[in-house]
Structure 1
Amino acid sequence: MTKSLSVAIIGAGMGGLASAAALRRIGTKVTVYEQAAQFSRLGAGIQIGCNAMKVLRGLGLEQRLRQQSFYPRSWNNRDWRTGEVKFDMIFGEAAEQKFGAPYLLAHRGDLHAALASAVPPDCVKQDHKLVGLDETGAGVRLTFANGATAVADAVVAADGVHSIAKDIMFGASSLNYTGRIAYRTTFPAALLNGYKIDDCTKWWGEDRHIVIYYVKPDRSEVYFVTSQPEPDFKIESWSAKGDVRELRTAFEGFDRQVETVLAACPDVHKWALVDRDSLDRWSLGNVTLLGDSCHPMTPYMAQGAAMAIEDAAVLSRCLAGVDRDGVANAFRRFEASRKPRTSLVQQTSRTNTWLKDKTDTDWVYAYDAWTTPLAA
């Protein structure tokens, strides 16, 4: 009987947990190493596209997410001042029938918790910050800042845009600071005092935009995220606080719905928007990168987490039935299967034109990571 492959996953974010859940489906022994001592529930929303929902369905999470998330009529794109509709991307039942899965708007913490529920707690080791990777005759040896070590047949590094594994494998490289910043927050819809907002709207300004939507099925919580120029701000942290008064000033004159939401919002987070150029390669021997560690992108298509979740499904298909000697080839196949798509999404997102006018969305939302042909 073939010995079950052992895989160490670096990072317990969306991509890491999705990979762990997908690999466990094929009988792989998985351990996830997370540098944070505990998970925190960030005040952020997330759009779960039909393409990502197909993967989450395969992981047994669809019903849970439907119950916790908002099911929008559309993603409506409007002029910043007049409110004139530029393009109304219809979702709801019509898109679900067309693309084979729903489009949901969720609290990021709810999606993360759902993915965590698909991985047994004893498979996740927190307070393990990676500091070393070495290929040995016994497998890949991992060293952590707390002094712990581990050996696995293969390593999947899903440790984000600031990937330590990437730096170890290929050397440090600089981030692309876009010269733009984002404000974001979630807050109780009760603070709107009965004022009703649209399901999901993006207001397009001349050099800035704001996206506002509900993240709960009962419309009890509102989320917004912005993008605007601020070239000198370079704090890339999801926990850094912003000044809500500066935010309101930056969006003065926008449609009444925008000004009403910003007037009700109690506080905000602020961070610099970054991405990286596509890497020449993702893997080295029996170690591969996944998600933001190899293809981080701007948030303008709402596809960053979706790409990592798709990665997880395709990776599990490439590793199915593979022993340790076949891992390097499986990782090359994974990259060849995924890189054309993730590179295109990176490039498309960077232009920030997605859905601004009538847009062909089929290539994004119709994709099914469980069935798409793998590279030879």
Structure 2
Amino acid sequence: MSKQPRIAVVGAGLGGAAAAALLLKAGYNAHVYEQAPSFSRLGAGIHVGPNVMKVLRRVGIADELNAQGSHPDFWHSRHWQTGDLLAQIPLGDFAVKEYGESYLTVHRGDFHKLMIEALPDGALTYGKLLVAIEDKGDAVHMRFADGTTAQADLVIGADGVNSRIREELLGPEPPKYAGYLAHRAVFPTPAAKSGMLPFDPCVKWWSDDRHMMVYFVTGRQNEIYYVTGVPVVEWDLKNSWLPSSKEEMRETFSGWHPTVQALIDGTVEVTKWSLLERDPLPLWSRGRMVLLGDACHPMKPHMAQGAGMAIEDAAMLVRCLDEVGAHNHEQAYALYAANRVERTSKVQRVSHDNTWLRTNEDPAWCFGYDVFNVPLVDPGKAA
């Protein structure tokens, strides 16, 4: 392998884009292959914690993201019926001081656009759905649905929960339906109504068996987003999402606080999505191929850290390639997994349990993490 190995990143989501951006900034020869025909502003919100902002600072988009996003002073948890506070976790200036970067909420599409724009011209090719991949020993051969082929020395599978590369490493196995649906809607912030509370910039409404997370996705607070977690016993995995409706939302959240009802009344369009998980994988890499993000640890969104873990993965993978050299890729991959499995498994577990910040707990273990400076664990000593 040359000093400039050809690194293919399969998938231009937030994790894949972060990996490519960091690789290119570090001087690697990287290219991204994305199955979508073009970029689109997908309608969802996203939390970006200080642990993620530290990576985005290196990517070069932290200032612009800070300018676009909403900066809540607190994460509020509220009782579904009374609106009483269950928890109030300080963010805002506290996050910057204690964790080293800001905590913000933003439209996922706006965030993703900044990530894509951070890539140099020519570093990303759209319309490349991977249908076959084979590690030939000296190189990895890829074939795409459009009939084209490509080769690379190393391949990073950032291709999501239904990863073709994960399937190549471990065989076909569908992800597990987690037993919950998520309703998602982005719409103009409704006017205040009698009997409701002011819209908190970041709030999670909790009952015993379901919740609704609500936050602004712009700094002007003129656009608001909610995402739910609702138990539904069965779901056809052929459908990743389906349309929902105000009527379904009213039925699902009947009796909830007037503030929640005002959000449902203001909803323009709402969809419902199956929440998928996998058990921790027995391996994250083999030969020249390695996984990151949802390809190896998909999780419920209940900690708002799914994309964050993918972005941290990307940063740690590049750090490990730098540490031992890309020519020692199997050693680098082993170092990467040793330094990510424990953390991502913990986040998977807490996300599954859906307890995150329901009460006044200390989130420093998550938000204060610095992927660039955490001491590296030797693969031989990892649990």
Normalized against structure 2, the TM-score is what?
0.94
Aligned CA distance change for structure 1 residues 137 and 287 (closer, same or farther; 3 Å): closer
Q: Retained in 2: the 8 A contact 1:5–1:322? A: no
1:168 maps to 2:171: no
Look up the SS of the partner of 1:343 in the other structure: helix
- Is the Cα–Cα contact under 8 Å of residues 14 and 112 in structure 2 kept in the other structure? yes
Match of 1:243 among 242, 245, 268: 245
Range 306-315 or range 124-133, more displaced: 124-133
Report the AA paired with residue 123 of structure 2: C
Counterpart mapping for 1:1-376 below 5 A: 3-189=3-189, 196-235=198-237, 240-320=242-322, 325-376=327-378
Amino acid aligned to 1:148: T
Alpha carbons 1:191, 1:265 under 8 Å: kept = no
Structure 1: stretches of 5+ with no match in the other structure = none
CA distance in structure 1 between the aligned counterparts of 2:148 and 2:337, rounded to whole angstroms: 30
What does the per-residue CA deviation read over 1:133-173, in whole Å, with 9 as the maximum and x for residues that have no partner?
22225411111121111111100000011111111121012
8 Å CA contact 2:326, 2:332 repeated in 1: no
Give 3-state SS (helix, strand or coil) of 1:320's partner: helix
CA distance in 1, matches of 2:10, 2:242: 24
Distance 1:216 1:261 in 2: 17
Matched AA of 1:336: A
For structure 1, which segment, 351-360 or 229-238, has the greater mean C-alpha deviation from structure 2 after superposition? 229-238
Give the 3 Å change call, closer, same or farther, for CA 322–27 of structure 1 in structure 2.
farther
1:232 is displaced (CA, Å) by 2.2
Q: Output the CA distance in 1 between the equivalents of 2:183 and 2:86.
A: 23
Give, as a single letter, the amino acid of the residue that structure 2 aligns with 1:146: D
- Give distance in 1, aligned partners of 2:104 and 2:308: 12
8 A contact 2:180–2:274 mirrored in 1: yes
**Aligned AA (1:313):** A
Greater shift in the superposed pair: 358-367 or 98-107:
358-367
Query: Structure 2: how far apart are the matches of 1:250 and 1:94?
Result: 36
1:173-203 residue CA offsets vs partner (Å, 9 max, x unmatched): 2322122111011001156689841111111
Deviations 1:252-285 (A, max 9, x none): 2111111111111122011111111110110001
Output the amino acid matched with 1:14: L
**Cα 1:236–1:270, aligned 2, differ >3 Å: closer, same or farther?**
farther
Instruction: Return the alpha-carbon distance in structure 1 between the equivalents of residues 207 and 322 of structure 2.
Output: 47
Q: Distance in 2 between matches of 1:367 and 1:11?
A: 25
Q: Report the Cα offset of residue 236 of structure 1.
A: 6.9
The one-letter amino acid paired with 1:97 is: K
The one-letter amino acid paired with 1:214 is: F
Q: Is the 8 A contact 1:236 1:273 kept in 2?
A: no
Give the share of equivalent positions with the same residue, in percent: 41
Q: What amino acid does structure 1 have at the position aligned with 2:244? A: G
The alignment partner of 2:340 has SS state of helix
1:192–1:264 CA contact under 8 A, matched in 2? no
Gaps (5+ residues) in structure 2? 379-383
Q: Distance in 2 between matches of 1:275 and 1:34?
A: 23
CA distance in 2, matches of 1:298, 1:237: 17
RMSD of aligned Cα (Å) = 1.8
Letter in 1 for 2:216: Y
Structure 2: how far apart are the matches of 1:275 and 1:84?
Answer: 32
The DSSP-based 3-state class of the residue aligned with 2:338 is: helix
How far apart in 2 are the matches of 1:140 and 1:375?
Answer: 28
Question: Structure 2: which amino acid aligns with 1:219?
Answer: Q
Amino acid across the alignment from 1:16: G
Q: CA deviation at 1:46?
A: 0.2
Shift of 1:367: 0.2
Distance 1:236 1:248, change over 3 A: farther
Distance in 1 separating the partners of 2:376 and 2:151: 29
Amino acid at match of 1:134: E
SS across alignment from 2:366:
helix
Higher alpha-carbon deviation: 235-244 or 357-366: 235-244
Pick which of 72-81 and 133-142 moved more.
Answer: 133-142
